[in-house]
Structure 1
């Protein structure tokens, strides 16, 4: 105790990490992103049901990667809850009428926010720990549910064009992720955008899509931009090998889900 006040000095509060280095995931996670994007591109034109396995895998890797990206591990309850939210979104999108897909997704989001809040009532950690847990679980749930947007986009039209739109977007993601891994900072950015656009042009040139040339280019380029955003996010906050092989693999394709849906609504 201090002589002046007779009160013991307060224990130092838990320090938050003060800096977040930027370490890109690299080439091997980019290859896995391209493989997952290729799986989605191959199945989406066949319909929503065919694309479910690729989307479910994407949601699982997204949920796990987001928690580790935020330095929270193990976090089995939070990962399970976020992943379950993604599965619930998939089920809602498969069952909802084509003109009610956004409402189905928003409904699941609302229900899962309530589930996240209820889960936090059982948390017995400090105030900082509860806030970190709430933030990470809510964000992970949102991302896993939003990844289901690929299914929403694939089911937007009954003529197969929306499935082709998802395929073009995924092709742009895969191409951009691979070229972004080139170890030349600004040049890799330009190459990634060029490769994404080239992927869209290649699909139409090879007759693999019924999209108009302009539309295929727009979807692929949009996927490329989303991939670069996802890769940038996965490069922050003390990334590790586990982060790179989860968040670094999934976030580029997860970020492309709202792009695919938004462009499909606007162009098709």
Structure 2
């Protein structure tokens, strides 16, 4: 190619790297751009980075920031390790290949040499007395007035027995026992308060409980345990209907005697002393109501059965729910057969 003008523009010269001010063209390089050159590189002034002179906004307007002082951190206090004996939280044994269940309160009490028995106390005893007085008042008013507190007693008995045995929630068993009690009450009313209605209902409910447990898909041991708890809960709730079969006067004497005996049993006395006091108080209440030795014997006999129910409700570290269900209901429920039988025997 020749360096001839093209298309009316100036002559073409090879591009030369611009030189800094005050320097000439480097040796061995082409000729610099002529002054009358038609093409001017618009980006030639951007080849060099602009240098700031003086103070910038950050250094002029912003005062220097001193580092904030760091406060010394005090070491956290170390809480003393709790005593492992008698601790409130759950305790676990050493790990084993077969597993190890949690240590129960009763097992811990036995290991520490304490009694695993906790009695219901005064509040459940007061509720037992209140329910006993309602039974006595209902019996004095009539059969259907007696039926209302009796149904309450039967419901508490079924629920309390299942919780006492550690089976909760056992809605089917509680419902089955309570329905058995209602069926027994209905049979008593239909049969003119014949005690045979109690025995017949109890036999039917035992068979029904057996059929229901056979249809269960649980383990054999668990099914047997559930069958036992269901049968006993139904039996206790049904047997409590003995108040409905007994005479009104016997129900009044027996219920008041149980009420007085349970309050005396809850007094802060040694256990043997409180048992004797409870029996004496119950016998005195029976004598005061009936005015005879038969009334005193009926009151004492009902109190003996009530103390047995009270002792069962105190078994093996029961919970507060057990105390306010089984602890309230079992003394009265267990005393019901004695009230019926002793009333007929001492008449």
TM-score, with length taken from structure 1: 0.85
Residue matched to 1:109: 202
Residue matched to 1:251: 330
- Match for 2:141 among 41, 46, 68? 46
- Looking at structure 2, the residues matched to 82 and 103 of structure 1 have their Cα atoms a distance apart, in angstroms, of 18
Unaligned runs of 5+ residues in structure 2 are 1-96, 108-114
Provide Cα deviations, 1:51-103, integer angstroms capped at 9, x if missing partner: 101111000000000000001100001000000000000011111145xx222
Alignment of 1:111-126 (within 5 A): 111-126=204-219
Residue 127 (structure 1) aligned with residue 220 (structure 2): yes
Residue 36 (structure 1) aligned with residue 150 (structure 2): no
The runs of at least 4 consecutive aligned structure 1 residues that moved more than 6 Å come to: 12-18
Comparing 23-32 and 120-129, the one that deviates more: 120-129
Q: Is the 8 A contact 1:70 1:237 kept in 2?
A: no
Residue matched to 2:165: 70
Residue matched to 1:188: 274
The Cα shift of 1:11 comes to 4.9
The Cα shift of 1:123 comes to 1.9
The Cα shift of 1:238 comes to 2.8
Alignment of 1:154-173 (within 5 A): 162-173=247-258
Alignment root-mean-square deviation, CA: 2.2
Residue matched to 1:202: 288
The Cα shift of 1:124 comes to 1.8
Residue matched to 1:88: 183
- Looking at structure 1, the residues matched to 103 and 336 of structure 2 have their Cα atoms a distance apart, in angstroms, of 32
The Cα shift of 1:128 comes to 2.0
Aligned residues: 243
Unaligned runs of 5+ residues in structure 1 are 1-9, 154-161, 205-211
Residue matched to 2:318: 239
Greater RCO (Cα-Cα under 8 Å, separation 6 or more): 1
TM-score, with length taken from structure 2: 0.66
Provide Cα deviations, 1:97-147, integer angstroms capped at 9, x if missing partner: 45xx22211110111011111221332222221111111001000000000
- The structure whose Rg is larger is 2
Q: Is the 8 A contact 1:171 1:223 kept in 2?
A: no
- Looking at structure 2, the residues matched to 11 and 24 of structure 1 have their Cα atoms a distance apart, in angstroms, of 35
